[in-house]
Chain A
Amino acid sequence: MKKVLTIVALVLVLMFAVVACTSTGTEEPAAEETAAAEEPAAEETAAAEEPAADTPAEEDATNTEGGAIDIAAVIASEKTTDNQQLMPDPIEKAFPDRPEDPSSLPEDDAGRYYDMEYVGWDAGEKDAGIPASPGDGPQGKKVISIVHGDHAWTTAYEKGMKQACEAFGMEVEVWSPNWDQALQDQLIDQAINAQPDAIALIPLSAENAVQQFRKITQAGIAAFGTNMLTTSDAMPYMAAWTGPDDWAQMRQLADTLGEAMGGEGGIAYITHDPGGSPYYARTYGPITEFAEKYPDIKTLDIQSPGFEAAEVKQVVSDWITRFGDDLNAIFLADDSAQATGAVDAVKEAGRDDIMIVAAGNSKTGQDLVKAGDLLIINYQSAEGDAGLCARTMAEWFAGEEVLPVGYLATDMITSDNVEGFYPTQW
Chain B
Amino acid sequence: MEQTKRKFHASMINDYRAFVFLGIVLIFGIFANNFYTLYNFTSIFSGSSLYTFIGLAFTLCMIAGHMDLSVGYMATMGAMMVLGMRTLEGLPWGVAFLVAAGVGALFGLANGILVAKAKIHSFIVTLGMQFVIKGLLNIYSNGAEISVKGDFEVTDILNSSPIPFLPFSVLFLFTLAAVIILMVVLAKTRFGRNVYMLGGNLETAWLAGIKSDRNTILIFMISGILCGLGGALYGVSAGTATPTLGEKGIAPLMVGLTATIIGGTDIAGGKGSVLNTFVSIVAILAMFGVITTLVGKFEVQILFIGIVLAFCVLYETFTKYAKQKTLGIRPDLVQKYMQESGKTKL
Q: Does A81 contact B (CB under 8 A)?
A: no
B187 touches A (CB below 8 Å): yes
Chain B residues lying within 8 Å of A14, measured Cβ to Cβ, are 26
Is A175 close to B, CB under 8 A? Answer: yes
Residues of chain B contacted by A19 (CB below 8 angstroms):
36-38, 41, 165-167
A338 within 8 A of B: no
Contacts of B238 in A (CB 8 A): 181-182, 185, 208, 211
Identity of the chain B residue whose Cβ is nearest the Cβ of A144 in the assembled complex: B296
Q: In the complex, are the beta carbons of B143 and A274 less than 8 A apart?
A: yes
Task: State A25–B57 Cα separation when bound (angstroms).
Answer: 41
Chain A stretch 1-29: residues in CB contact (< 8 A) with chain B: 1, 3-4, 7-8, 11, 14-16, 18-23, 26
Inside 8 A of A199's CB, which chain B residues have their CB?
A: none
Q: Is A108 an interface residue (CB 8 A)?
A: no
A206-B296 Cα distance, complex, nearest whole Å: 24
Stretch of A32-40, A97-105, A247-255, A391-399 on the interface side: A32-40
A210 within 8 A of B: yes
Other-chain residue from A18, A40, A182, A194 in contact with B252 (beta carbon distance below 8 A):
A182
Report the separation of the CA atoms of residues A267 and B305 in the bound assembly, to the nearest whole angstrom. 45
CB distance from A286 to the nearest CB of B (A): 18
Does A193 lie within 8 Å of B39, measured CB to CB?
yes
Q: B16 and A182: CB pair below 8 A? A: no
Q: Counting CB contacts under 8 A, is B156 at the interface?
A: yes
Q: Given A175-B296, A181-B245, are A211 and B289 also a contact pair (CB < 8 Å)?
A: no
**Cβ–Cβ < 8 Å partners of B47 in chain A:** 182, 185-186, 189
Q: Which residues of B sit under 8 angstroms from A34, Cβ to Cβ?
A: 152, 156, 160
Known: A149-B248, A185-B47, A211-B152. A39 touches B285 (CB 8 A): no
B231 to chain A minimum Cβ distance, whole angstroms, is: 11
- Identify which of A186, A210, A273, A274 contacts B43 (C-beta below 8 A): A186
Q: Who on chain B is nearest to A175 by CB?
A: B296
Residue A340 at the B interface, CB < 8 A?
A: no
Answer yes or no: B127 CB below 8 A from chain A CBs.
Answer: no
Is the CB–CB distance between B42 and A39 below 8 Å? yes
Which B residues are CB-close (under 8 A) to A418? none
A39 touching B39 in the complex, CB below 8 Å, given contacts A177-B298, A195-B34, A275-B143: yes
Smallest distance from the beta carbon of B131 to chain A beta carbons, Å?
15
Chain B residues whose C-beta falls within 8 Å of the C-beta of A39 in the assembled complex: 38-39, 42, 161
| A275–B147 alpha-carbon span in the complex (Å) | 11
What 1/0 mask marks residues of chain B from 38 to 79 whose CB sits below 8 Å from any chain A CB? 111111001100100000000000000000000000000000
Q: A19-B167, A207-B240, A208-B145 are in contact. Are A192 and B160 (CB under 8 A)?
A: no
With CB as the reference atom, state the residue of chain A lying closest to B35: A193
Q: Name A42's closest neighbour in chain B (CB-CB).
A: B38
Question: Complex: how many Å from CA A11 to CA B286?
Answer: 13
B259 within 8 A of A: no
Chain B nearest CB from A94 CB (Å) reads: 27
Q: Is A133 an interface residue (CB 8 A)?
A: no
The A170-193 residues at the B interface (CB cut-off 8 A) are 173-183, 185-187, 189-190, 192-193
Say yes or no for B94: interface residue by CB 8 A criterion: no
State how many angstroms separate the Cβ of B16 from the closest Cβ of chain A: 6
Interface residue? A214 (CB, 8 A): yes
Q: CA separation between A304 and B26, bound complex, in Å?
A: 43
CB distance from B71 to the nearest CB of A (A): 14
Q: Bound state CA distance, A367 and B19, in angstroms?
A: 54
A150 at the interface (CB under 8 A from B): yes
Residues of A with C-beta under 8 A to B46: 189
A233–B147 alpha-carbon span in the complex (Å): 11
CB-CB under 8 A from A35, the residues of chain B are 156-157, 160-162
Name the one of A181, A187, A214 contacting B242, with C-beta atoms under 8 angstroms. A181
B42 touches A15 (CB 8 A): no
Given A150-B298, A181-B245, A185-B47, A208:B239 Cβ within 8 A:
yes
Task: Assess whether B150 is interfacial by the CB under 8 Å rule.
Answer: yes
Q: Mark B214-258, 1 if CB is under 8 A from A, else 0.
A: 000000000000000000001000111011111011111000000
Among B142, B244, B275, residue most surrounded by chain A Cβ atoms (within 10 Å): B244
For the complex, is B155 an interface residue (Cβ under 8 Å from A)?
Answer: yes
Q: Give the complex CA separation of A46 and B248 in angstroms.
A: 36
- CB-CB contacts of B156-196 with A at 8 A, as 1s and 0s? 11011110011101000000000000000001000000000
Q: Give the residues in chain A near B251, CB-CB below 8 Å.
A: 180
B89 CB → nearest A CB, Å? 16
> Do residues B249 and A189 form an inter-chain contact, with CB atoms below 8 A?
no
Contact status B248-A178, CB under 8 Å: yes
- Is B146 in contact with chain A by the CB < 8 A criterion? yes
Distance of B25 from chain A, by nearest CB (Å): 11
With A7-B19, A39-B38, A192-B39 as contacts: A176 and B165 at CB distance below 8 Å: no
B contact residues around A186 at 8 Å (CB): 43, 47, 285, 288-289
Interface check A205, CB cutoff 8 A? yes
Cα–Cα distance between A274 and B16 once the two chains are bound (Å): 43
List, in ascending order, chain B residues with CB within 8 A of A194's CB: 33-34, 293
Residues in A lying within 8 Å of B, measured CB to CB: 1, 3-4, 7-8, 11, 14-16, 18-23, 26, 34-36, 38-40, 42-43, 46-47, 149-150, 173-183, 185-187, 189-190, 192-195, 205-208, 210-211, 214, 231, 233, 273-275, 279, 304
- Residue pairs across A and B with Cβ atoms less than 8 A apart, 13 shown, are A8-B19, A23-B38, A38-B161, A43-B39, A47-B34, A179-B248, A180-B246, A183-B250, A189-B46, A190-B293, A214-B152, A274-B142, A274-B243
The 4 closest A-B pairs by CB, nearest first: A180-B249, A274-B143, A35-B160, A179-B248
